[in-house]
Amino acid sequence: MKKRNIYISQPSMGQEEWEALKEPIFSGWVTQGPKVKEFEQLFAERHKVKYAFAVTSCTTGLHLALAALDIQAGDEVIIPAFTWVATANVVLYCGATPVFVDIDPKTFNIDPAKVKEKVSEKTKAIIPVHLFGLCADIDAIKEAAPGIAIVEDAACAAGAGYKGKPAGSLGDMASFSFHPRKSITTGEGGMVTTNDDALAEKLNMLRNHGASISEEQRHHGPKPYILPAFEVMGYNYRMTDLQGALGVVQFGKLDQFIEERDKWAAFYKKELADLEWLQVPEFSVDYSHGWQSFACLIHEDKAPHSRNKIMELLQERGISTRPGTHAVHMLDYYANNFGFKPEDFPGAQIANDCSIAIPLHNKMSEEDYKYVVDVLKNEIK
């Protein structure tokens, strides 16, 4: 079989996205404006929320959400130990303390059974991560920590669902990512969602320097030369209309992209089921997976090689892979400043050392998928 060069992820963009950029370029409105607003409205409708606010990244969106909750020094925020580092960093941005909870290696998501023991009188929020596009068990988390604000880290979960409800509508707020490794992309960029009127008002001001009205509202108002009031300290976390124009086009393909990924994820699961050393994603009918990536767990006691060696062998055969993500408590900054040891969160440690994401994206062909399966089944020995 011919050797291929299959990327771990590749954005699916083309002529339609190229053409979409013309409108903001030729209109001259390239900062946050009508295309961002259109993108926000489409996103809110699909995810069944009242409000969606486009921002510069999922990271800044999470920061905004915590700022809107007035998280500050002395507060604690519960987060999973296995996630992208930004989930923890945004807590520190607010001067608060991230409190790590171990994950379930079967789902890679926060273990609700371990949440309850970490709740204290200082706990002001929980950030459950819908890792790789699989929603966290929000009902169990709410039961474990009743009355605690929930901010969904939905970076990977555009279009995903839990018990018939879309990601982004499950907690008090949520933040999504449009990084190129996500199912739809605007390059960089993110979206914050909420159904809470008061939080929405805060989010809208905070992302725009704390201004009482947006630049678009001021520009189209009766006195565009009068600056808005600034009653709170905010941030410049606004998405550009160039990104908004891309987002509108990409969003129109979201469900198609997920449907295609779902088909090939099912193919992977069926074809790789006999590899006893590879744990493929499994979840109940309560979940609608967003398939940001196809993350597996290698059982090194059964595998022919270590996780890293298997990744190396796949790369030699033209198949790009990545660790799922990292255990934040094992990263130098957090280990050195908080005194964590790898074994403090054994589920996250296993996921850190043994998870592997194999290619799953909308630029792959049927032959690509078959090649990945063939190599895993017949050449990794």
Tell me, yes or no, if 302 is annotated catalytic.
no
Residue 297 φ/ψ, nearest 5 degrees: -125, 130
Selecting among 165, 182, 202, 269, the annotated active-site residue is 182
Buried b (16+ CB within 10 A) or exposed e, 90-99: bbebbebebb
Give me the helices (H) in 239-360, please.
241-251, 254-271, 307-316, 332-338, 346-354
Buried b (16+ CB within 10 A) or exposed e, 209-246: bbbbebbbebeeeeeeeeebeeeeebbebbbbbbbbbb
User: Residue 130 has which token pair?
Assistant: 């819908």
Give me the helices (H) in the chain, please.
15-20, 22-27, 34-46, 58-68, 86-93, 112-115, 138-144, 197-206, 215-220, 241-251, 254-271, 307-316, 332-338, 346-354, 366-378
User: What residues are paired with 166 via a beta bridge?
Assistant: 161
Note the Cα 73 to chain centre separation in Å.
26
SS3 of residue 130 by DSSP: coil
Sign of CA dihedral 175, 180, 185, 187: positive
Note the Cα 316 to chain centre separation in Å.
29
Rounded Cα–Cα distance for residues 214 and 208 (Å): 7
Name which of 250, 268, 277, 71 is nearest 176 in CA terms: 250
Name which of 184, 227, 206, 215 is nearest 31 in CA terms: 215
* Catalytic positions, written as ranges: 182
